Structure 1
């Protein structure tokens, strides 16, 4: 007998499923790189209209490229520079509808037109950021902000 596969009806239900999948992937795994790599792959599979997803990790006062899915990327970003560095210095999620209008934007992929960067915390301290780029202008909204922040909250408890 076949079981009917049901798919979430709303973006909120889809994001709730994503959060459950993340927890199943990282629960019990102690290796930080493994968890970040699986988290990047999960987001790449889940999100539509993105061309890059990955993590930058805070080391010695700068962000250093971590696990990602997409084209090769900038290796080091100073805190306070670009969207990623700005998210760290502000200690908050930054959503940019048009990266070409963002002062000091660091262009790693010329196909990127919008971006969301979410601080990644562990033990109450920023340890890096989740960075997601899209070729579509205005790709990220308040729903993405809310659930990607929750995604980083879950992930941060396992790092």
Structure 2
């Protein structure tokens, strides 16, 4: 399924859902199901006033990494940089947190509300180097859409 077909589905989920967490779960499930190289899809959010991220809704293999300090791993780095991070090969990253031995690549896109980085969407793939500019732009759309729920 193409990203252009998924965009209205994301918009519909956000418009139709009764709760933020339910919407986020539906988005995770949709992306994991419909995009073959998205093997784990989840949201992390800033944990109150703490300098850490807390795992929110996700779809995929359970992870022990429910809390990630700012600066640690790809997600923690995005929490500080406020920039997208595409990792074609996780083994080439010194500051990578291994969540699953099958993960070969990762993309993390921050989620902004009123100019503040409040969280991110994190995608793991068991495919080496699958993420393109189209993935990045689509995930930016997802985060902009999700920001309307916050």
**Normalization by structure 1: what TM-score?**
0.87
What is the aligned residue count? 147
8 Å CA contact retained: 2:14, 2:145: no
8 Å CA contact retained: 1:40, 1:68: yes
8 Å CA contact retained: 1:19, 1:154: no
Q: Secondary structure at the match of 1:27?
A: helix
Query: Considering only CA atoms, is the larger Rg found in Structure 1 or Structure 2?
Result: 1
CA shift digits 1:3-33 (9 cap, x unpaired): xxxxx7xxxxx21221110111111546221
Q: Say yes or no: does 1:98 pair with 2:89.
A: yes
- Distance in 1, Cα, partners of 2:17 & 2:117: 20
- Distance in 1, Cα, partners of 2:131 & 2:11: 23
Alignment of 1:3-152 (within 5 A): 14-29=2-17, 31-59=19-47, 60-73=50-63, 74-152=65-143
- Distance in 1, Cα, partners of 2:28 & 2:114: 21
**Normalization by structure 2: what TM-score?**
0.92
Aligned residues: CA RMSD: 1.4
- Distance in 1, Cα, partners of 2:8 & 2:38: 21
8 Å CA contact retained: 1:30, 1:158: no
